[in-house]
Chain A
Amino acid sequence: DTEVTQTPKHLVMGMTNKKSLKCEQHMGHRAMYWYKQKAKKPPELMFVYSYEKLSINESVPSRFSPECPNSSLLNLHLHALQPEDSALYLCASSQESGGINIQYFGAGTRLSVL
């Protein structure tokens, strides 16, 4: 089973709202990722958590706040977003320990900021 589950599938929010995206995996993976994908572009890395610690932040604005409560869960807290933040947000996970860090992606959350 290579399933990464993301909720919600769709989200519409105003610029003053606070919302959260959720991601869950039960593959025993110890690295989890957030990506942002705009139309007709490849995914862009935002954050990497390795063993529940933030290891990479690709200079993402502070209105995006990641959280990794445990090894199976990853959240992305959103606050005061801009319309240009509308995109498909993807979560991924990988093994991390010793082997190849092949990443498995979830179906994504389609976010619209009004």
Chain B
Amino acid sequence: QKEVEQDPGPLSVPEGAIVSLNCTYSNSAFQYFMWYRQYSRKGPELLMYTYSSGNKEDGRFTAQVDKSSKYISLFIRDSQPSDSATYLCAFLKAAGNKLTFGGGTRVLVKP
């Protein structure tokens, strides 16, 4: 079983729709949860990080963590064509510096 599972997509939505992304993980030692956005041929850009169960909101983005279910989500409201990218979930152990990535979900927002 992989430590992190993430649907590769592609996930295609119309402009203005809510994009819902998620990852499941199996390692209880993961304490920090991140979402990166990566445009084609560019480096990953940190969108959000959190370390506790619950929701964290930043503009159109909401990150959700459920440690009991080992499940994290990212929601993008009012999606725009510029949100078309690959979204990577990533996990970090306490005091560690080795990121464990999901495989990435490709998102297409159609005008």
Task: A110 to B49: give the CA distance in the assembly, Å.
Answer: 27
Q: Does B69 count as interface, using CB distance less than 8 angstroms?
A: no
Q: Which residues of A contact B36 (CB under 8 A)?
A: 105
Interface 1/0s, chain B 23-57, versus A by CB < 8 A? 00000000010101000011111100101000000
Report if A102-B43 is in contact (Cβ < 8 Å); known contacts: A42-B104, A43-B101, A48-B97. no
The B93-109 residues at the A interface (CB cut-off 8 A) are 96-99, 101-104
Contact B103 A42 (CB under 8 A): yes
Task: A101 to B100: give the CA distance in the assembly, Å.
Answer: 13
Q: Does B88 count as interface, using CB distance less than 8 angstroms?
A: yes
Contact B45 A105 (CB under 8 A): yes
Q: Does B92 count as interface, using CB distance less than 8 angstroms?
A: yes
Q: Which residues of A contact B103 (CB under 8 A)?
A: 41-42
Report if A45-B99 is in contact (Cβ < 8 Å); known contacts: A100-B32, A100-B92. yes
For chain B, what secondary structure do more than half of its interface residues adopt (helix, strand, loop), or is it mixed? loop
Q: How far is the CB of B3 from chain A (nearest CB, A)?
A: 12
Contact B101 A107 (CB under 8 A): no
The A96-114 residues at the B interface (CB cut-off 8 A) are 96, 100-108, 110
Contact B43 A90 (CB under 8 A): yes
Q: Number of A interface residues at 8 Å Cβ cutoff, please give it.
A: 27
* Chain B: number of interface residues, binned into ranges: 20 to 34
Contact A103 B41 (CB under 8 A): no
Contact A42 B101 (CB under 8 A): yes
Q: How far is the CB of B38 from chain A (nearest CB, A)?
A: 9
Other-chain contact of A103, B99, B102, B104 (Cβ < 8 Å): B99
Q: Does A56 count as interface, using CB distance less than 8 angstroms?
A: yes
Q: Does A74 count as interface, using CB distance less than 8 angstroms?
A: no
Contact B41 A102 (CB under 8 A): no
Q: Which residues of B contact A94 (CB under 8 A)?
A: 97
19 contacts between A and B (CB under 8 A): A6-B43, A40-B8, A41-B104, A42-B104, A43-B99, A45-B98, A48-B97, A88-B41, A90-B43, A102-B32, A102-B49, A104-B46, A105-B36, A105-B45, A107-B43, A108-B41, A108-B42, A108-B43, A110-B41
